[in-house]
Amino acid sequence: MTESSGSAGSGAAGAPLFVVVGNVNQGKSSIVATLAEDPTVPIDRFPGTTIEAGRYEFRAGGRTLFTLMDTPGFQEPRQALAWMQERSSSAEDRHDTVAAFVAAHEHGDRYADEVRLLRPILDGAGIIYVVDASSRFQPANEAEMEILRWTGCPGLALINRTHERDFAYDWNPVLNQFFGAVIAFDAHQATFEDRLELLRAFRAIRQDWRAPMDQALDAMGRDWSERRQQAARLIARQVTTTLTHVERVRLTDGSDEERISQSLEQRYREHLRKVEVEARQEIEGLYRHRQLEIELDPLDPNRADLFSETAWRAFGLTRMQLAKSGAIWGAAAGSVIDLAVGGLSFFAGAAIGGLSGGLAGWLGGSSVGRAWSEQSAVARQLLPGEHGRFRAMGPVNAPAFAWILLDRAALHVLAVSERAHARSDRLEVGAKDGPQGIVTRLDPALRKRLDQCFRRAIKRALDKGPTSTPDEKLVAAIDEVLVVAVQTRSDAADT
Amino acid sequence: MELADLVDLEACLVADEEARREGVEGRRSLARRDAAIGRKIVGDHGEDATVLRRRVGELRAARQAIACDWLEEMRQTRKDLPGRRLSEGLDVAGFVLTLVGVLVGIGAARAFLAYDGREPVNVFGFLALFCGLQVLLLLGTAWALAGRGSRGPRTGRLTGALARLARMPVLDRFVGGRRAQLEAGLGRALGRRTLYRDVEQWLLFSHAQRFGTWFNLAVIATFLYLLTFTDLAFGWSTTFSVDGDGFHRATTIVSLPWAAFASGAVPGQDLVELTRWARDGGGGWVVESEGVRPVGAWWSFLLLALLVWGLLPRAVAWLFARRKLRASLAGSALDHAAFERLFDRLLGGATEVGWATPDAETVGRAAPRRTPATGVPEHRSRTTTSVQESPPAEPAPVRTLPVQESAPVDAAPAAVAATPESVSEVPSEPVAPAISAPPTGRTLVTWGRFCELQDAEVSTIGRAIGQPDPGQRLRAGDDLRVEEEDLQRLSGARTDDVQVLVESGVQPTREVLRYLERLRETLPPPGRVTVWLLARDESGDVAACPAHELEQWQMRLDVEGDLYVRIETLGEEATS
């Protein structure tokens, strides 16, 4: 969606134009921001924030499919209606009377806001009349709706239910007298599906707008899927980069080895944190959010540091799942030894490896990557061109960590994709009280595929060094994880 | 009252309003602080808090006295108040202006009186520059001052331009999402500027005249010096076709103020004729008349002209401005909404919450409602939380408050005054609605859907907001014709206690603000109005509006710069 400053009236090239109108401070801009996925729409809790009418076009395939217009609210509807009533003699001339009102006050200060919002309606725009469900119906609202009725233009009413106090029940019979459809909508909690639902209702405003709106809805659906796939790719890249990263520090004569080791681990962790933050920012950009604020809170798993105990407890697989996964990892490693000795070990390597891997998975541990000295063969393999004394850390050797990464990333995508653009508060990732992670609920087959991808990534790092290019199988598996996550959330909401 | 006091008072109130905006805790903190100061003030004055509160509502002098007492206490804890610094800054500015006036005066006089022996000093130009121009400037300033009204919303090109600037969408790029706050801050500043415009204008005028006075003194001193120690020659010349008779008539008019007692300083026809200079053919200057040239004879006329048309008006204007400045400061009403809240916090509302009705007679008859034995004011205001503390250990010397305004107060007629009981006590029985009664001092406006309320329901709400006797009832925000008729009805009622009941959820749109403005204009000055934002549930009970609504309304009114509309809701615990 793009913002442009076209002329008032119908949308670009005859595309549907919907004008969002109502009293001041009813949440019109919030609705526009949520529908247009534009967090830059000026929203303030102080009335009269919208001074100029802003146009937000939905474009696909190089053309505008429909336009939303945010308007300043009615300021003096009773007086405006009185002006019109004085000059109208029958229902026949009401549209012309509204036009005369606009013409008469075009250049004056008084009724400037009314003129701004009525002009596009008179040019044939569809009306989206917004009321705040937390306030009661007032005489001024009746005057507003009467003026809109006088324009003779089709429209629907939207009850914005963003507050606890709710008079939607009182509003419905009133709004039904003036509008063909009345829809309840929470601009702060609306998900993608809610937005589609609302836009489907817009189709009914005018018969000839159905086709362009259907095209727009199709385009939105496709765009949404593409975004999810891109998010999956971004997560896969983050996971791959994190799992395969190797941090190294050179040593000089007289270096304090203990201090160097601590510093190495700190730098290693810092880098992984940075990779996570960057991936999150890219995903937020993908869903058209400005940089969202997530304040670190060691007690809240959703806002805890990547390496905090809270996060490790809350995310990733369960102990049993980790033990199983560890056993597979260990058995695979043991099998390599069995193969190396030509099967003379009678698969004892696989058995011992599986047992020890399972045990390690069960017991867990907070160590993420192992430290290496320059004398280690692994270190020489990881950093073949490196000479002299050094210490290295990585790649990740804790199986649990890969799942924690994935869990946190998937929850973040879920939170960002479901977040309405009208909100300006802190991003809430996951539910504080409910089960935190997603990966524990995955299908075992999918879990196994992911496990293989993780192993492959680490093995590749050991063979060829660090990489940030994800395996396509990992991308596909993560996309499935996101689909499951959305479905799980949707099921939970329905329940 | 000094300028520093006024500045400090407003600075404290601005800070207090900011604290109120922080929410319940901020308001509680203010209530605790001012309740403690209030007890001390009540003890110092040795009178009942209710009586003090009522008197404060009626008499400007009482308001000033209590406000100054409060300020004295505030200054004990707040050392950062700007009043003293501003006052000292103005003194420095005055000194600098004096210095600049002297230097400019000397420079101008020396430049104009530079006589090299060939061309005489032109009397015509001297009079035009040092007398005519100054008189014109003074008259222009006086005209500009006289053209400014004393009441009404903020006006003026500067304020208008600033307000328009604050509304420009492009401003969003620079201030982000803080445009509303910026507008509100600007509105508050402009509102106060409008309120104290007299102080501001007389302060500026006084400084300008100070500059002018010292300029003239310097010109006169330089003139005398040059007369005494150099050889000056005067003549007159002009491109315009002014003959000797015409110029003589002009000098005669200029000399009128001293003609009676210093006839020697009035130029005669001969002097005028003999000292006229004109251009000669070779580019030089020649005197037109033959004979003796009395080129030095003009000095006495010029000296007196400087004294009478230059120095004297400036000195008089300076003294006048200083006097007016003092009068403006002394006349500061200290009655806008923030002061009323302060007095409520200090003394407890004599009228619970809301505005006091001017009625000196009632005060005289009022039986003081006894405060607790400690002399502590019983804070019954719904917007305060009082903390009972021990009284001062030592009785302080008793101060007295004026019981009558020195200047006549625009008091409401005695017939419209509410009785002390009805004002200070909440009756246990429902008060009979006064809908059909003749206009009283109180007026209650119901806005929008509240117009549908029955009189009994309005009375119930009236009791909830501390107005057991709501007085006459007006309707607004519903039927425009009824709204207009009711406003007309109010214009004859001379009431100064208007409560507007607005249902929570109603936005402060232009129609609401315009109505409030018209309401204020209908009321006698200063036209104070309290808007009550009330939530109403299905059973008809009223409750506090959400805190953010209160803030929204306050910000919107701040943008308008109107300090006399007070926004309240029930209780301290506004729900959020």
HEC sequence for B31-89 = HHHHHHHHHHHHHHHCCCHHHHHHHHHHCHHHHHHHHHHHHHHHHHHCCCCCHHHHHHH
- How far is Cα B318 from Cα A491, in angstroms, rounded to an integer? 82
- How far is Cα B448 from Cα B98, in angstroms, rounded to an integer? 59
CA A337 to chain centroid: 46
Type of residue numbered B468: P
Q: Answer yes or no: do B480 and A132 touch at CB < 8 A.
A: no
Out of A25, A138, A424, the one facing B448 most closely (by C-beta) is A138
Is B505 at the interface with chain A, CB within 8 A? yes
Q: How far off is chain A from B172, nearest CA to CA, in Å?
A: 9
- How far is Cα B212 from Cα B97, in angstroms, rounded to an integer? 9
Query: Would the pTM count as exceeding 0.90?
Result: no
- Say what the ipTM of the complex is: 0.77
Q: Answer yes or no: do A74 and B552 touch at CB < 8 A.
A: no
Would you state the pLDDT for residue A90? Answer: 92
- How far is Cα A2 from Cα A41, in angstroms, rounded to an integer? 11
Chain B environment of A135 (Cβ under 8 Å): 503-506
Would you state the pLDDT for residue B383? Answer: 34
Q: What is the pLDDT along chain A (495 residues), one digit of tens a residue?
A: 444 444 444 555 678 999 999 998 888 989 999 998 888 777 666 665 566 668 899 988 888 999 999 998 899 999 999 999 999 999 999 999 999 999 999 998 899 999 999 999 999 999 999 999 999 999 999 999 999 999 999 999 999 987 778 899 899 999 999 998 999 999 888 989 999 999 999 988 888 899 999 999 999 999 999 999 999 999 999 999 999 998 888 888 777 878 888 888 889 999 999 999 999 999 999 999 977 776 656 556 666 677 777 777 667 667 677 677 677 767 776 776 777 777 777 778 778 877 777 776 666 655 677 788 888 877 777 777 777 888 888 788 777 788 888 988 998 998 899 888 888 788 877 654 445 678 888 898 998 899 889 888 888 887 887 888 888 999 999 999 999 988 887 777 776
Chain A environment of B552 (Cβ under 8 Å): 25, 45-47
Asked if residues A219 and A65 have their Cβ atoms less than 8 Å apart, the reply is: yes
CA A176 to chain centroid: 34
Q: Answer yes or no: do A79 and B511 touch at CB < 8 A.
A: yes
Query: Which segments of A352-493 are extended strands (E)?
Result: 369-373, 390-396
Specify the pairing of strand A390-396 against strand A369-373: antiparallel
Query: Which segments of B162-262 are extended strands (E)?
Result: 234-235
Out of A45, A75, A138, the one facing B506 most closely (by C-beta) is A138
- How far is Cα A125 from Cα A111, in angstroms, rounded to an integer? 20
- Which residues, given as ranges, of chain B have pLDDT below 50? 150-155, 291-292, 350-396, 407-440, 573-576
Per the rule left: phi > 0, alpha: psi between -120 and 50, beta: everything else, A111 is left
Is A91 at the interface with chain B, CB within 8 A? no
Q: Answer yes or no: do B555 and A25 touch at CB < 8 A.
A: no
Chain B environment of A163 (Cβ under 8 Å): 546
What is the SS3 assignment for B257? helix
Q: Quick one: which of B429, B480, B479 has its CA closest to B452?
A: B479
Give a three-class secondary structure readout of B467-527: CCCCCEEEEECCCHHHHHHHHHHHHCCCCCEEEEEEECCCCCCHHHHHHHHHHHHHCCCCC
Asked if residues B219 and B101 have their Cβ atoms less than 8 Å apart, the reply is: no
Q: How far off is chain A from B164, nearest CA to CA, in Å?
A: 12
Specify the pairing of strand B277-279 against strand B285-287: antiparallel
Q: Quick one: which of A48, A411, A483 has its CA closest to A224?
A: A483
Asked if residues B213 and B307 have their Cβ atoms less than 8 Å apart, the reply is: no
Would you state the pLDDT for residue B405? Answer: 56
Question: Measured on CA atoms in the order B569, B572, B575, B576, is the torsion positive or negative?
Answer: positive
What is the SS3 assignment for A18? strand
Q: Quick one: which of B557, B505, B496 has its CA closest to B529?
A: B496
Give the residue on A whose Cα is nearest the Cα of B502: A138
- What DSSP state is assigned to residue B306? I
B449: its two tokens: 């859907």
Kindly provide the b/e burial profile for residues B436-457, where b requires at least 16 CB atoms within 10 angstroms of the residue's own CB: eeebbbbbbbbbbbbbebeeeb
Question: Measured on CA atoms in the order A81, A83, A84, A88, is the torsion positive or negative?
Answer: positive
Is B347 at the interface with chain A, CB within 8 A? no
Residues 6+ apart with CB under 8 A from B480: A78, A79, A82
Q: Answer yes or no: do B507 and A73 touch at CB < 8 A.
A: yes
Asked if residues B308 and B499 have their Cβ atoms less than 8 Å apart, the reply is: no
Chain A environment of B505 (Cβ under 8 Å): 132, 134-136, 138
A–B CB contacts, 8 A cutoff, strictly below: 77
Would you state the pLDDT for residue B500? Answer: 94
